[in-house]
Structure 1
């Protein structure tokens, strides 16, 4: 089994409920054990004019192959009404593989680690709740080091 971290986000159709429903679906994946979830956070969209996002990170232990997991995540997104009308548009649910064990994956459909996670407070702070500070990212840097370079700006930890 490998530890896999999944970034979760929603800014349409009751975002907190979208994330809760996605967590239930993640817990049902075959050959996978649900290992935890961070707090939920709210942040502004990276693009102006969109509703605020609710984000979290989930941890899974799985024997699924990376592209099999990607297909399963996209099926969950689709089941929850995800429409891929534009690349950076608002969405009911977005599930991204952030880290897949210590693998570097460079496939046409999947890049791991997620290519901009080191710049995203809404990814790093929830990830830090689940992962040890000594976690080494595939590029060799410690999570704590990357977190120190990404200020907690525009992020609100939600009380549920």
Structure 2
């Protein structure tokens, strides 16, 4: 079984419920989820929208190889109403990102692990630091807590009450 970390986000519809449905769907797909962060209200990054995100991070175990896990994440996104558009960032009812898969480093046309921008985004690092502060980024060599402490972005992230 491989330990994986997944980012979950939603900025359309019932955002909190969308995230919780994604967790349930991942369990139904056979992921053994061991930790789930708090829900965070986060400012959109990389595109203009008035719709803020609800984000969380989770830790799970899976017997699936990374490419197959990615297929499961995409399947769950579609089942929960995600429609991919032009390839640019856009509003979405659900977004599932494979952040880390053990200490695997993959860089192919179909899959990049660790997530290529995870270390640059507060909305990823805040929830991830809550559940796995000592998790070490396999290519940068720093822990999630260290990456978060050195992050200089000004994006707004707060725990959702």
The TM-score normalised by the length of structure 1 is 0.92
After TM superposition, the structure 1 = structure 2 runs for residues 43-82 of structure 1, keeping only pairs within 5 Å, are 43-46=42-45, 47-82=47-82
Q: Partners in 2 of 1:108 and 1:18 — Cα distance?
A: 28
Higher mean C-alpha displacement, 64-73 vs 41-50: 41-50
Unmatched runs of 5 consecutive residues or more in structure 2: none
| Residue matched to 1:22 | 22
Is the contact between residue 82 and residue 91 of structure 1 (CA under 8 Å) also seen in structure 2?
A: yes
Compared CA separation, residues 49 and 144, structure 1 to 2 (3 A):
closer
CA gap 1:100/1:89 in 2 versus in 1, 3 angstroms = same
Count of matched residue pairs? 157
Q: Distance in 1 between matches of 2:149 and 2:61?
A: 27
Distance 1:117 1:39 in 2: 18
Q: What pairs with 1:4-153 in structure 2 (closer than 5 Å)?
A: 4-30=4-30, 32-46=31-45, 47-86=47-86, 87-131=88-132, 133-139=133-139, 140-150=141-151, 153=155
How many Å separate the matches in 2 of 1:24 and 1:48?
Answer: 30
SS in 2 for 1:4: strand
Q: Secondary structure at the match of 2:97?
A: strand
Gaps of 5+ in 1: none
- SS in structure 2 at match of 1:18: helix
Equivalent-residue separation in structure 2 for 1:143 and 1:73 (angstroms):
22
Deviation at 1:26, TM superposition (A): 1.1
| Deviation for aligned residue 1:3 | 1.0
**Alpha-carbon deviation of 1:50?**
3.6
Contact conserved, 1:50 with 1:90, CA < 8 A, in 2?
Answer: no
**Structure 2 CA distance for aligned equivalents of residues 116 and 18 of structure 1:** 23
- What's the CA shift for 1:109? 1.2
RMSD value over aligned CA atoms? 1.4
Supply the distance in 1 between the matched residues of 2:128 and 2:49 (Cα, whole angstroms).
27
